[in-house]
Structure 1
Amino acid sequence: MDITLEDLSLSERIGQVLCFGWQDNTPEEARTVSAHARALVEEMLVGGVVLLGRNVDAANPQQIRATIADLQRLSRIPLFIAIDQEGGTVNRLRAPFHEFPGNMALGATRNADYAYRQAQAQARELLALGVNWNFAPVMDVNNNPDNPIIGVRSYGADPQLVAEMGTAAIRGYQQTGLLACAKHFPGHGDTSVDSHLALPVIPGDRRRLESVELVPFRAAIAAGVGAIMSTHILFPALDTERPATISRAILTGLLREELGYDGLVITDCLEMKAIADTVGTARGAVEALKAGADMVLIAHTLEVQRSAVQAIREAVEGGELPEERLNEAVSRVLSAKRRFLSALPPAEGDPWLNPEHDALEQEIARASITVVKSAPNEGYRLRKGETLALVSAHHSLPKLAEEIRRHQQNVIIVQLDPALPDEQVREALQEVVSVQQCLVATSPPEPWSDASIDQTKQAELVKALHQQFGERLVAVALREPYDIRHFPDVDNYLCTYGYRPCSLRALADALFGQFEPAGRLP
């Protein structure tokens, strides 16, 4: 790529610091180069686009590849094509692509080679489509069990474990040719507020931040991570007034000057309410660039995107955003493009059909299954031939039942409403009264769901089932491992760290003695 800063007009330079997404009136339009997508590239001259779930039909990889190629043809300067393909709960691409276990599952294996190999496999699948930037890995230390948005997306609560696993993933992505992005700087783990919905505050002092939040990011920088994503969180120990994304003290003072990072810095989406409902998205774009960000991410709304572009232009022309700062940001974007886009392999093939990826996905899932508590004599195991009930208010229960039925057909399935109405729960308890063994699957609230499970009633259900079944009850946490806080007396408790198909299959195999679970709480 031979484009230089001097070759670019002001409009082109502003465009290079933009990473925007698009949406449209129908699913079909959102998956093609629609009028909105065309406006991003031809009108706003963006440096990158981000693919969300609405933009991809995983069942049609050729269409995804064609859309990306069409976007690239419209742009004079090669585009970053970004996606969130973390593994686990956050995957824009579903089957036939490999969803892989999430980060906390990897943490439970204690095997950094799994993180490396999984990242390599993910990179091969993304590059074959034309995707060249993954917004991963998550480098947050999940030291708050009530965190509503990070949770199993983190490798765990140990900063050193997060650093080890995350840097292995970075190497896996980048050695395969895919730009990685460590997120969410300087840390989103110790909060009980979702920054999509409000502005969180992490009150720890500087010493605590140095010993926890910053450990993985220091390691990521040392590993040569190509990009870092900022978070919309207030850290009073670092800046008493401004969240990290718009804080010069954090993005320039801490990240650039103290930690010595000279790679690409991109914001998290500025349409998240932590920014949109405070300074506003357009103003937030200007403030983020002034603070030291190199790219601003605005993923959804065309009018908001146009307003941000205009705000940046006015800030440059009025002298509020020094042209030197804009040029510095553009130079980093171009440098990252030279590093990662100059020698990309052609977008071809179908590595998502590679049986080695199948095997790796299942191997990692098996290695992650964790037995936290077990009654004597492997009491967590289900016994073939005995009547069995599966009970849950979680939407993944039918898929879990499919996996259980590979081992035993005689199964009663009790799917409950997430609100767990009293009458329905009473009927469920009566329905399983003559059953010999029971598995109950639990989950914390899911912020992306319109019907989160009632946590109080879920705990009451587990306690009632435990009273009924005693040691013949097996409780399984389908996501974060912390559910047992609400029913500590259960005799058998397992963790899967996610409910993607590979994890549900591994759970079923463990419950029926196909392998010895060796995962450890991360």
Structure 2
Amino acid sequence: MRKNYLLLILVLALLAILGYGYVTTMDNRKNTEDIDPIQEQIKGMSLEEKVGQLVMAGVDTYENDLNSARLLQEYHVGGFVFFKKNVKDANQLLSLINSLKETNSVNKLPLMLAVDEEGGRVSRMPSEFTKLPSSRRIGELNSDELSYRLGGIVGEELKSFGLNTNFAPVLDVFSNPQNQVIGDRAFGDNPTLVSKLGIQTMKGLRSQNIISVVKHFPGHGDTFVDSHVGLPVINHDLNRLKSLELVPFYKAVENKVDAIMLAHILLPKIDSEYPASFSKIIISDILRKEMLFDGVIITDDLTMGAIVNNYDLSEAAITSINAGSDMVLVCHEYAKQEAVLKAMQTAAQTGRISLERIDQSVYRVLKLKGEYALSDRSIESVNPLSINHKIEVLYRDFPSLKP
């Protein structure tokens, strides 16, 4: 009897040990599943690295010079945007991009590398590539297939250089015929048409693994002033915006757009103090809470006249991040870029920008980079001929499209 009793105790003890081991294993598995790799990555970043990810800069010349190297090595900027001033020919552009990637090897995160490649008059591609039509011309033909194929071709062009982000398509509704800053950059004056063709273009870009940043939220179509020079003022209330300007952006959010660019536009009936690019009402209340957009929000270039002629540049950047932006564009002049980065670092160190607010934006930026598997891998060569052939085929399929 005593032996049976001892055996029973032994069996129960063994079962208890096995049960504990099972529970521990399941708890460990659960804890492992609960770990967010992006959050873990953020925990390992310095404050300077985090702030750097919230800034996209420009390059002042055709080459990766000392200034751009410092932006990477000392300030850890999240990416670069390129303009015509940076493009001499295909080989030079490829060399510039590869050089920036190589310099960025000191950092843990790959670069967002962007252009404004809209077609028509807003194009950054070298002259070796056949020109693409304006959005207005695409809107006149009103073809889903054409929009998608064009988005794909543009995506191929960008990908051939190792670029990964396009500040396009334009989702502005061209409601003011006197608005020359938008003009033929818009698909048309009908929000339904703009929505349909813009989303197809966005999907075409995505098909080539290019991040599409739609613009210019909340709508630049009814302006007189060019924000490159001055600050446009639009006296529309929110009801008007919802009925026209915001329609394409609502549709883009429904279609899981990755990123949205903010316009430098003052809307006094919504926010009389700050333009859209650093208005908490427009960014956090309307775009985030009401429209339920949780992707990356990027400002238009803060060195444009609309900002530098009316506001302190560094204060604008800090205010924009606090209002809910994730990245600020500072495209021109190294002195201005450095001033913004230093001011943002100081604001982060002193608590003017909370660590929680910074981490929210860093999370979105890292998530987007991860989703598109961005890489600093060099591209050996670029072949415009193969892409030009696809453009010629497109013009053959849509004969009235060719200029």
Aligned partner (choices 350, 355, 359) of residue 392 of structure 2? 359
Cα shift at 1:113? 1.2
The yes-or-no answer on 1:11 pairing with 2:44 is no
The yes-or-no answer on 1:20 pairing with 2:20 is no
1:51/1:236 Cα in 2 relative to 1: closer, same or farther (>3 Å)? Answer: same
The yes-or-no answer on 1:222 pairing with 2:254 is yes
Aligned partner (choices 81, 87, 105) of residue 56 of structure 1? 87
Query: For 1:228, what is the secondary structure of its paired residue?
Result: strand
Output the CA distance in 1 between the equivalents of 2:340 and 2:302: 10
Query: Which letter maps to 1:90?
Result: V
The yes-or-no answer on 1:194 pairing with 2:234 is no
Q: Which residue of 2 aligns with 1:38?
A: 69
Query: Which letter maps to 1:6?
Result: K
Cα shift at 1:51? 1.1
Q: Which residue of 1 aligns with 2:352?
A: 320
Query: Which letter maps to 2:59?
Result: W
Structure 2 unmatched ranges of 5 or more: 1-36
Cα shift at 1:188? 0.4
Cα shift at 1:55? 1.6
Cα shift at 1:351? 5.1
The yes-or-no answer on 1:209 pairing with 2:246 is no
TM-score by length of 1: 0.67
Aligned length: 364
Q: Which residue of 2 aligns with 1:120?
A: 152
Cα shift at 1:360? 4.1
Cα shift at 1:342? 4.6
Cα shift at 1:74? 4.5
Query: Which letter maps to 2:54?
Result: V
Q: Which residue of 1 aligns with 2:190?
A: 158
Output the CA distance in 1 between the equivalents of 2:183 and 2:397: 19
Aligned partner (choices 320, 328, 345) of residue 288 of structure 1? 320
Note the alpha carbon deviations across 1:306-346, whole angstroms, 9 max, x for none: 11112112222222211111110111110110011358997
Aligned partner (choices 331, 348, 359) of residue 363 of structure 2? 331
Cα shift at 1:101? 0.5
Query: For 1:210, what is the secondary structure of its paired residue?
Result: helix
Q: Say whether the 8 Å CA contact 1:109–1:364 is kept in structure 2.
A: no
Cα shift at 1:174? 1.1
Aligned partner (choices 66, 70, 73) of residue 98 of structure 2? 66
Note the alpha carbon deviations across 1:289-318, whole angstroms, 9 max, x for none: 011100000001111111111211222222
Output the CA distance in 2 between the equivalents of 1:21 and 1:159: 32
Note the alpha carbon deviations across 1:340-374, whole angstroms, 9 max, x for none: 13589974564531254232453477434xxxxxx
Cα shift at 1:58? 2.5
Q: Report the identity percentage.
A: 35
Whose Rg is larger? 2
Q: How does 1:97-496 map to 2 (within 5 A)?
A: 97-342=129-374, 347=379, 350=382, 352-354=384-386, 355-363=388-396, 366-368=399-401
Q: Hey, which of these two has a bigger chunk of helix by percent?
A: 2
Please list every run of at least 4 consecutive aligned residues from structure 1 whose deviation after the TM superposition is greater than 4 angstroms: 342-346
Note the alpha carbon deviations across 1:93-140, whole angstroms, 9 max, x for none: 132124310111110111021111011111112112110001111110
Note the alpha carbon deviations across 1:470-512, whole angstroms, 9 max, x for none: xxxxxxxxxxxxxxxxxxxxxxxxxxxxxxxx52xxxxxxxxx
1:56/1:318 Cα in 2 relative to 1: closer, same or farther (>3 Å)? Answer: same
Q: Say whether the 8 Å CA contact 2:98–2:379 is kept in structure 1.
A: no
Query: For 1:90, what is the secondary structure of its paired residue?
Result: coil
Query: For 1:91, what is the secondary structure of its paired residue?
Result: coil
Q: Which residue of 1 aligns with 2:12?
A: none
Structure 1 unmatched ranges of 5 or more: 24-29, 369-501, 504-522
Query: For 1:296, what is the secondary structure of its paired residue?
Result: strand
Higher RCO (CA < 8 A, seq sep 6+): 2
Q: Say whether the 8 Å CA contact 2:112–2:374 is kept in structure 1.
A: no
Output the CA distance in 2 between the equivalents of 1:192 and 1:95: 31
1:108/1:161 Cα in 2 relative to 1: closer, same or farther (>3 Å)? Answer: same
